Amino acid sequence: MQRHPGDPQWIKVFASAEVAGQWFDQHDTEGVAWEYEIEGRQRLASIWIYLTDEKSRDIGNPGWARLFTSEQTAENWLEQIAPGRRIWTYPVEE
C-alpha cells in the first residue's frame, strides 16, 4: 500500500535519535531515519511538515522537507515563501 503526505502512517517523527532507535528495534529493524532541522522555537507535541515537491521520494535530502514547531510558524512561512501550498501535522513520538 502506497501512502501519501497527510496519511497518518506516511511518516514517523521522533523526539531524538534514541527514541527512533528504540522504535526501530521494536517495529522495523530494517528501517532508516533521517534528521532534519526544525524551524521555530522549541517543538511541541507535533510538528508541521512542508514538502518542496509532494511527489518527490528524495527523503533524506536536506532540501526535501521543512519542519516547523508550530502551525503558526508554518503558516507564516507559507504566506511569505510558498503561498497556496500545504502543510501536514504529525505527532512527535516520545
> What is the structure's pLDDT at 1?
67
Calpha distance 88→48 (Å, rounded): 5
Q: For residue 79, which phi and psi values (nearest 5 degrees)?
A: -60, -40
User: Which phi and psi (to 5°) does residue 67 adopt?
Assistant: -115, 140
Question: 26 is written with which cell numbers?
Answer: 521494536
Please say if the pLDDT value at position 41 is more than 70: no
Q: Where are the domains of the chain?
A: 35-91
When pLDDT is averaged across residues 70-83 and rounded to a whole number, the result is: 89
pTM flag (> 0.85): no
Instruction: Give CA angle at 63 (52, 75), nearest 5°.
Output: 50
Examine the pLDDT at 2 and tell me if it is beyond 70.
Answer: yes
